[in-house]
Amino acid sequence: GKLYLHAPTETSQATLASVSPVFAVMKFDKEGNTTYFEKKKTELYQELGLQARDLRFQHVMSIATRNNRIIMRMEFLKAVITPEFLLILDYRNLSLEHWLLSQLASQLAGEGQLVTYSLPFEFRAIEAILQYWISKLQGRLNTLQPQILETLEALVDPKLLSVDRSKLHILLQNGKSLSELETDLKVFKETILEILDEEELIEELCLSKWTDPQVFQESTSGIDHAEEMELLLENYYRQAEDLANEARELRVLIDDSESIIFINLDSHRNVMMRLNLQLTMGTFSVSLFGLIGVAFGMNLESSLEEDPRIFWLVTGIIFLGSGLMWRRLLSFLGRHLEPPLPPHVPAVLKKSQPSTGRVEIKNSLKAETFGLSRTLPNQ
């Protein structure tokens, strides 16, 4: 009976272990040597001394420490940093794999442009990952900026009487991409800011402090390693802030351009409405005096149709009356559509203007005598 009860439990455990996800891992040591292997999630977190939830990577950004390990989540970039090596999980991404093979190994070995080579290994690994992510965000902004500027320049052209719908579609797509970039920058900044606000979290990122206290000494510049970590994070926070400001300027430019586009469209719409109103007035004038011709065209006899001069007289009256009526309506329309007059300037201000002008001219002449000859043309 005991064997019968325990058998389903052992079977379920074996089944769960068999369906555990397998990570494709790329390992970098302090010298930049690279090794590749595949390992199940259960075996990997047991070797690293972590929990299963620590290797649950969602498409979010976070930097956390667990059991003297740094776990970095940068969307599709998943990394585990220890004092001796760096693990990149699920590296099979085209852009990510190219960076891993061409740059990361050399940077960790001291052949790149990192500024933390004199510091412990975890500093180099964190800086390399943050530098990669900032460069990726910068590349996205550099790709969007010329496209947005070119599209806005084509849309805001005052010579165009209509808006190209294909350009609007491109602007809509670029605006959506810009919104995604702004969101990624905001999340990146918030992730770093959460660490900068907590002194304990900054100290936990210095793994060498707990493994080898002798290594965790003051650097050559006299700054503690915890302060070095804080300066490192602040540097990349500032870079992300600069990118966010550039993206914000693009967003403001798009909003301003949309306002200009709407103003141009309203102006063209007003022109068309005014033309339509003028034609309507002309039609009304012709129809009004055309009643005279309708009256004479009725099957009623009178003595006027016998005179050959009546036809030309009636025709002239119709055209002249229609023209005068249309002209009268247009003048009425112009009076009601004229812009308002400028505000009245008080007489006191009018009298003070000439004296002000004389003072400015005197000042400019004095400036000329001292060699400032460019002041008078400016005035």
pLDDT for 76 equals 82
* Range(s) of the chain covered by CATH 1.20.58.340: 114-270
pLDDT for 359 equals 41
pLDDT tens-digit series, residues 157-209: 666 555 667 777 888 888 899 999 999 999 999 999 999 988 888 888 888 77
pLDDT for 280 equals 83
Reading the chain (379 residues) residue by residue, the pLDDT tens digits are 444 444 445 544 555 556 667 888 888 888 878 888 888 888 888 888 888 887 776 667 888 888 888 998 888 888 899 888 899 888 776 577 778 877 888 888 777 777 777 888 888 889 999 999 999 999 999 999 999 888 888 877 666 555 667 777 888 888 899 999 999 999 999 999 999 988 888 888 888 776 665 655 555 455 677 888 899 999 999 999 999 999 999 999 888 887 777 777 777 788 788 888 878 877 877 777 777 777 677 665 666 767 777 777 877 887 887 788 778 777 776 665 555 555 554 444 344 444 444 444 344 434 443 343 333 344 3
Question: What is the percent of the chain with per-residue pLDDT over 70, rounded to a whole number?
Answer: 72
pLDDT for 214 equals 60
**Fold (topology level) of 20-110:** Lipocalin (2.40.128)
pLDDT for 273 equals 84
pLDDT tens-digit series, residues 339-379: 555 555 444 434 444 444 444 434 443 444 334 333 334 43
Task: Tell me yes or no: is domain 114-270 CATH 3.40.50.720.
Answer: no
* Range(s) of the chain covered by CATH 2.40.128.330: 20-110
Q: What is the 3-state secondary structure (H, E, C) of the chain?
A: CHHHHHHHHHHHHHHHHHCCCEEEEEEEECCCCEEEEEEEHHHHHHHHCCCHHHHCCCCCEEEEEECCEEEEEECCEEEEECCCEEEEECCCCHHHHHHHHHHHHHHHCCCCCCCCCCCCHHHHHHHHHHHHHHHHHHHHHHHHHHHHHHHHHHHCCCCCCCCCHHHHHHHHHHHHHHHHHHHHHHHHHHHHHHHHCCHHHHHHHCCHHHHCCCCCCCCCCCCCHHHHHHHHHHHHHHHHHHHHHHHHHHHHHHHHHHHHHHHHHHHHHHHHHHHHHHHHHHHHHHHHHHHHHHHHCCCCCCCHHHCCHHHHHHHHHHHHHHHHHHHHHHHHHHHHHCCCCCCCCCHHHHHHHHHHHHHHHHHHHHHHHCCCCCHHHHC
pLDDT for 102 equals 78
